[in-house]
Structure 1
Amino acid sequence: MKKVLIICFFLLFCQYYTFGQETKGDEFDKRYIEVNVSLVATNVVEAERVADSLLAVASSDEQKIKSYMLLAKIYENKGDMSKSIKSAIKANSLAEMTLNYSWQAVTSGLLSTTFRRLGLMKVSERYLVQAEKANEKQSDKERQVLTRINIAHEWYFHAVAENDYHKAKKYVLQAASNIKMEGNEDKRALLIKATNDQLNAICELHIGDINNTDSLLEASLKKLGGMETNLKPYIYRIMAESALAKKDLEKANQCLNLIDPYLKEKNVEELEMLTYETKAVYYKMRGDFSLSNDYTAKAIHIKDNSIKIAQQISDGLIDEIGTDKEIYENRYMMAIVGLVLVVLCFIIFSGYLILLKRHYKKRYHQLRERDVKDQALDAGSSSVSHPIALSKREIELKKEAKEINISKETEDRLYQGFLFEERDLFFIDKTTSLAKLASSIGTNQRYASYIVQKYRSMDFYTYLQTNRINYIIGRIKSDPTLLDFKLAHLAEMCGFSSLSTFSTAFKNQTGLPPSAFVHFTKKELEESGGQ
């Protein structure tokens, strides 16, 4: 008797939750409700096909959860508890990952029911506590109330499993206090009320109030009306139990006959076992001990088979949980190793950036010191030539310049022309070239190159790069507002056609990328301004 309405309650878990939702014309929800409420009870094969289709077309996480829950119910009806549990666990995991507290409560409650049926009461209780916690976190008050009814009913079955019907009745009354739906209730609302009446009737039957049992069962059937649901055969069986308690064999037989069509159309072993137990009592009271013993044997066979199946399922679940645990442990270790590698890479990269920054800072200060020395030398020298020793390349250029035969008068004229162009900043013109310089000072490219090499100790290309960089550095020093300009604009100001060429030339000449030079110059200005 303690398992009399377990399957019915299992079916109601999803129904309670969906009651509070408005379909808003959504075809998915309409089809889902149709399968959930009616099709499962009339054609489980078609229900499974539709449920698979719903899962395939599910476009949101919530629709996927609904589909998995629907499949869990269908597999349970077919007696495939292993698939039922796996579908429910998928729904529960998805609800947890998406922080969907409403469905977390429902899926945890369903798993609580399932594990209780397997006899794993501690696991069942743990899921039920999770359902309670998740339910209190959901924001939809209507769904919250419906799930409270659901949870109260599950605690009822826990009390029934302990044969404590007084405690079970308290949970039924607790559920009843939350059932406040009035007006034109739909099928799901009526199913909730009918179920609560039926559970209350079971308590009254075992407590001893048979008259109240009958009135509650009649009220339950009246609410169901012509609705086709798995709840009805369970109601008929309790009515038969009540009739037997009053020794009304005719009424008991009528009720048992009402169950037979459900046994023929569906393969619900739980219902078969409970009905056979009641028929065994019925035939024993009639004095037909042969039939009574036959039905008793059938009930025991189903019960033993159910115990074996439950044991196989529980063993399989334990193995699967162990495998999953190993998989998750491996994933966890991989995640830890990956995290450590990321941290190490970050530390190494950060160290590299720190060293690079220190290098650039040192180079910046060296550049500043060189500028100071150059300024001091320029101030103390009236000669055009540079007092610092010439480099090997500069000596080679001087030597190349000597090989060109040019009169002193022509050389002086060309040099003066070059100085004029230099003062006019010809080198920051993007279109400048050796040919253009030669044309400007009235000579050929060979003589123009000679003037640059002799008086600037570098070839024309190097001269352009060097003077452009020196020009922009000088501009920045004289006008710090340029520090806020984009590097591409600075490159264009000093004659470079591309930022990459400017950056390469700047770093080759100063040892710093232009971004680092700008950074340290800004910092230096901030520090000097704050003193």
Structure 2
Amino acid sequence: MRFTIKTFLKLGTAYQTIFMLFISATLFSQENAEEKLLLLKASELAVSDPDETIKIANHLLKKAKSEENSVAINLLIARSYDTKGDYFKSVNYVFEASKNFRIVNDSLKAEILFLKAEISRKLHLYNQVDSYLSDISFAISGLGSREIKKNIHARIDLEKTLVDLERTHYKETLKRLGDIEVKYNAVLADNYGLIQNLSLIKALSFNGLNDYKTSEKNFEKALSEYHSQKKTNIILETEILNGLSKIYYERKEYLKSIDTLLMALDKATKINNIPLLEKINYQLAVNYLALSDKPRYQQYNDKFLLLNTASIEMEIEAVNSMYNFIGEEQEANYKYEKDKLVRYSYIALAFLMLIIFSFTVLYSINKAKRKRLKEIIGYLEVTNNLLVKSYVDKKEPNKKIAIPTETEQSILAKLKRFEGSTKYTNKDMSLATLAAHFDVNTKYLSEIINKHYQDNFNTYINRLRINYIIEKLKNEPEYLNYKISYLADESGFSSHSSFATVFKSITGIAPTIFIDLIGKEVNKKKA
């Protein structure tokens, strides 16, 4: 059977179908029919039975006869773990696929970057999302098919919309959706998966704006569109059911809300998606509390607390893993570029004009580095103020957790005093430790940090630590002579590698390069 672009675009959800298109076009082109069928089956099951997909993909991985085949299969496994909500394993497999990034075709490069962007969004690493989406636009510049390019650009815009949604910028989300519907009208006409995503995002946005009537209408539209396709997508269906249950709860239709949540719970349990199960159990607990059914409230609240702990631990593990992989990739890219420059330099020795050109390039690179350093220093000089004042200038987002105003202001004041100290350099600093120090619960503290600093606790502490050591490097010259391991220990990091990874993720360059550039600036001023 021959599959055309339009055939694949009508198979299911937007991300899954385009992913299937790309990998099916490149994988096992010379293999037997049985392996091709297994691949197609695994792709179709990625959003309905991810465990079976992983089992089939691991079987195919053993038989893969090219690096490009291995890349695409690892990406399929990463997608499946993403469906299960296991972001740690998804991160590991997508970066395994990324190891041979340069050798694969542009379509597969785009899929790798898309999954990295999606995982980054779910881990609240929004700067990384922007970076990966920009890389996608560059990666597909050589694609010949205008239809595929149009679909990919629609997905890029949709991903940006999801970032707005997760940051509770509901009005901006709806505006962006309107622009997408106008700009990609032809794409949407042929892609029911994208339409389902748009309806779901609209429903969630109106729900965030407390427009429950419009929200319910869009949830029901998304559910109707989903059922009309007759393609199982547990994540999509569960999110719709969970959204509808919240509307029933707001209308005090608690039994109807519970029935809907139990359907969602049954589906989420099949794929053991911890983040989804956490949300559903919380909603069930809230409904039973409203009904004054204390035994069931206790039952589901206990489950929620266990899942919440597991979810937080998994997210921290995934974030740390991602930072490490990003650091390794940046080091590899730096080495690749450096080796390439060395090869060009050898060739340039034979040609006078190329030698002149090489010197010009080196001068430009150094100039760019100095400019980059000034930008970084300028950014870091205002980071501390922005870190504390950011909540003053932003609109009040809809609260995920109801926190009394007096408690909220008290926590913010304590955070400000905390930032003025150096307690964040304590290696044992954790969300639980700081919450205990503030005499508040961890959920309140985490919510305040997410709301006012747009970062999770891990990133918030890491930024304070990096800002601290940057100030030391800028204002105390002796720090320029210290080893990286000392700087890591001084700023509160447990290891040289974790310090280097986080430093690079925040400033954009490795600490050794940063120190070298600051040293040159100091010597230049002395001269």
* TM-score normalised to structure 1 length: 0.54
The equivalent of 1:146 in structure 2 is: 151
The match for 2:41 is 34
> C-alpha displacement at 1:295, in angstroms?
3.2
Counterparts of 1:17-56 in structure 2, within 5 Å, are 17-18=19-20, 27=33, 31-38=38-45, 40-42=47-49, 44-56=50-62
Aligned-partner SS, 2:92: helix
The whole-number CA distance in structure 2 between the counterparts of 1:261 and 1:80 is 18
- The corresponding residue for 2:111 is 106
Q: 1:290 to 1:125 in 2, by over 3 A?
A: farther
Distance 2:344 2:181 in 1: 52
Structure 1 residues 63 and 216: CA distance shift in structure 2, 3 A: farther
Greater relative contact order structure (CA < 8 Å, 6+ sep) = 2
Q: Distance in 1 between matches of 2:269 and 2:121?
A: 27
Does residue 206 (structure 1) correspond to residue 208 (structure 2)? The answer is: yes
Deviations 1:481-511 (A, max 9, x none): xxxxxxxxxxxxxxxxxxxxxxxxxxxxxxx
* Alignment-derived partner of residue 181 in structure 2: 176
> Which one-letter code corresponds to 1:227 in the other structure?
K
Cα distance in structure 2, aligned partners of 1:181 and 1:319: 37
Aligned match of 1:295 in 290, 295, 300? Answer: 300
TM-score by length of 2: 0.54
The Cα shift of 1:242 comes to: 1.5
The equivalent residue for 1:259 is 264
Looking at structure 1, the residues matched to 331 and 279 of structure 2 have their Cα atoms a distance apart, in angstroms, of 40
Partner residue of 2:164 out of 154, 159, 165: 159
Q: Is the 8 A contact 2:286 2:297 kept in 1?
A: yes
* C-alpha distance in 2 between matches for 1:15 and 1:103: 13
- Amino-acid identity (%): 17
Give yes or no for contact 2:269–2:277 (8 Å, CA) kept in 1.
no
> Would you say the 8 A contact 2:118–2:129 is kept in 1?
yes
What letter is aligned with 2:58? Answer: D
Kept in 2, the 8 Å contact 1:14–1:106? The answer is no
Counterparts of 2:179 and 2:68 in 1: how far apart (Å)?
Answer: 29
The corresponding residue for 2:221 is 219
For the residues of structure 2 that align with 1:303 and 1:37, how far apart are their CA atoms? 30
Structure 2 match to 1:194: 196
**Alignment-mate amino acid for residue 74 of structure 2:** Y
1:59 Cα deviation (Å)?
5.6
What SS is found at the alignment partner of 1:205? Answer: helix
- Answering whether residue 228 of structure 2 is matched by residue 228 of structure 1, we say no
C-alpha separation between the residues in 1 aligned to 2:130 and 2:75? Answer: 20
Given that 1:175 and 1:196 are in contact with CA atoms closer than 8 Å, whether structure 2 keeps it comes out as no
In structure 2, stretches of 5+ residues that fail to align are 1-12, 352-527
Partner secondary structure for residue 41 of structure 1: coil
Shift of 1:202: 1.0
Map of 1:119 onto structure 2: 124
Distance 1:327 1:298 in 2: 43
The one-letter code matched in structure 2 to 1:315 is: N
- Residue 314 (str. 1) matches residue 316 (str. 2): no
Deviations 1:162-218 (A, max 9, x none): 2111111223334434253688x7xxx433322221121111222233233223222
Q: Is the 8 A contact 2:150 2:187 kept in 1?
A: no
1:120 CA displacement: 2.1
CA distance in 2, matches of 1:158, 1:146: 19
Change (3 A) 1:328 1:236: closer
Return 22-31 or 167-176, whichever deviates more.
22-31
Aligned residue identity for 1:312: E
Following superposition, the deviation at residue 114 of structure 1 comes to 0.7
Q: Distance in 1 between matches of 2:148 and 2:240?
A: 27
Residue pairs, 1:56-135, within 5 angstroms: 56-58=62-64, 63-92=69-98, 94-98=100-104, 100-135=105-140
Q: Distance in 1 between matches of 2:181 and 2:68?
A: 28
What whole-Å deviation, never above 9, does each CA across 1:31-72 have from its counterpart, x for those lacking one? 434322335523x33211221233444566664443222111
* C-alpha RMSD over aligned residues: 3.6
Residues 1:78 and 1:236: Cα distance change in structure 2 (over 3 Å): closer
Between the aligned partners of 1:144 and 1:334, the Cα distance in structure 2 is: 32
Structure 1 unaligned segments of length 5 or more: list them.
1-10, 348-531
Residue 311 of structure 1: CA displacement?
1.9
SS in 2 for 1:227: coil
Which amino acid in 2 is paired with 1:70?
Answer: L
